[in-house]
Structure 1
Amino acid sequence: MLQVGKGRVLRIFIVLIFMVFFAGCTTNTLSLEKQNSLQTIKYSKKEFDNISKDAVLEAIKKSFALSNKEKQFQINSYRNHILIQRITLNYFMFSSVIKVENWLFELEQKENKTFVKLSIYKQDRFDENKKIYYEKKYHDILWSRIENLLGLNKKWLSCRGYICSIFSSNEPSKDDYIKDVLISQRKAKLQAIIQKKIEAKKAKIKEDILKEYEAFLDFEEKDEEIKKQDEESIKIKNEFDKLIFNDSKSLKKQKQSDTIDKKLDKIDTKNRI
C-alpha cells in the first residue's frame, strides 16, 4: 500500500510540472500577442529649430544616464546616430529567453535645423530579424525629457506603470542641463577652439625658428665684434695665438725627448750590471 501511494504522488508531481511548463509557454505567447495587438509605432521624428546636433546628442545620452543608476543601459554613441540597448533574461521552467531592447536615434543637421528619428523595438537575441515595436507613450516620454534638457520645456515628465522599470523619475539637477545648445553658439565655440589651436601652432613655429637661428645670430654678433677691432690688436692676438701653439708643440717634443733619455739611462744601467 505504501509503495502504491508513493507511485501515485510521483505521477501527480510529474503532471503538475508539465502543467506549469505549458502554462508558462502559453502566458509568454499571449503576452507577445497582446503586445503586438497594441497600437505600436515603428518610429517617430522630431525637428529642432536652431538646435545643434551635438547638443541633441548630449541631451539623449543625459536622459538615459539619469535612468542608468543600475547600469542597465549600454550607450553606443557615434557621429550621426546613437544606439542604447538593454539586455533582459526571462527564465521559464525548462528554458530561458534573452531579449534586447533597442533605442536607435538617427540625427542629421541641415542648415539651421537638426532632424532626429527614433525607433524603439525589442529583439530576440537569437532571432534579430523579428522586431517588436513599442507604443507611442515610450516615444513621448523620451522626447519630452530631451526637450527639457535642451531648455525647450520646463516640465520633467515622470514615468507611469511598466515604463518606470525602464525610465526612472530621477529629475535633472541644474548641472545636467545642456549648455550652448544653439547652432550659432556651437559654431562660435568651435571657432574659438580652432583659433586657439592656430595661435598655439603659430607660437610653436616662432619658437622653433628662434631656436634654429639662435646660433647664427650669435655668430653674426661675434663677427661684428671682430670687425670693430683695429689691425694692431688683431696682429697682436694672432701672434699670441701662434706663440701659444708653438710653445705647446715645443713642450710636447721636450716631453718626448725626456722620456727617450730616461729609457736609454735604464738600458745603460742594466748593461753595466
Structure 2
Amino acid sequence: MDKLANDIELMARQLPPITLKEMSGIRLMNRTDQKYLTNVPTLKRLLELTRGSYYAQEIDGQRVSPYATTYWDDLQTLGMFRQHETGRAPRQKVRVRTYLNSDITFLEVKKKDNHGKTSKSRVQVPSLEAVMHEGAGDDFLAEKTGLHLCDLGPAVGNRFNRITLVNYDKTERLTIDFGIQFYNYATENRASMNNIVVIELKRDGRCPSPILPILRQLRIKPAGFSKYCIGASVTDPDLRINRFKKRLVKIRKVAEA
C-alpha cells in the first residue's frame, strides 16, 4: 500500500466498520446517483467531518480496496467512447474489473437509458487474461449486448483505490476513488491523476442526507467523470475530445486547488 492509500486507510479507521454482509441489506428503493469531484486535501477534511455520521466498509480487515479495470471497445471505431463523447443515449460500456485484494474478476456491462437511468449486469470470469485470450464471458456478453469479444478489444485500463462509506441510517452510500492511473492499450501511454478524487453518492432521495451539507461546506460540486472517457482523453493525443475539453480543464483546476 502506497503512502496516500495508507493515509486514507488510517483516516477511514476512525469510522466504525460495516461489513459486506451488512451492506447487502441496504436497499435504496428511490435511488438517485450523483458524482462529485475534489482533491486529496479536501477528501481528508471530508473524512474528518463524517465522523459520527458514517460507517466505513471493511473487507478482510482493510478499509481501502484497490481495483483494476479494463474497458473494451470496437478498436476501429471506438463506438462506445463516441456514444459518450456525443452525449448519445441509450449507450453502454463493457469492462473487466478485478478486485485486487481478493483477485476476483467480473465481466460487466453498464447501460444508460434515455431517461438517464443506469443499470449494471456482470458475470464472474477467471481473470482479465482469460477474457482476452480464452473468450471467457463471451456468452454473457452476447446475451446482454449482441456483441462478441471478437468484435471488441481492450482499449483503456485503470487502477484506483476505493473506500465506501454508509450513513448511520443506511439511506445512502458513498464510493470514494483516489490514486487513479490510466493505461492506453493502443498508444501505450500512461497518465496519473493522483490528486483527483471522484465521489459517487447513491442515496434514497426521500431521506435527509448528512453528506450534502458537508459537500456544500467544502465547496465540492457535482461533476461528471467517466473513467473510460477521461482515461482515453488523457492517453491518446490524436483522439477527438470536443465534449471533454472543458471537463479536462475543470479536472486540472480541481487538482491544483
Q: Check whether TM > 0.5.
A: no
State the TM-score, normalized to the length of structure 1.
0.23
**CA radius of gyration, larger in:** 1
* Structure with the larger helix share: 1
Greater length-normalized contact order (CA 8 Å, ≥ 6 residues apart) = 2
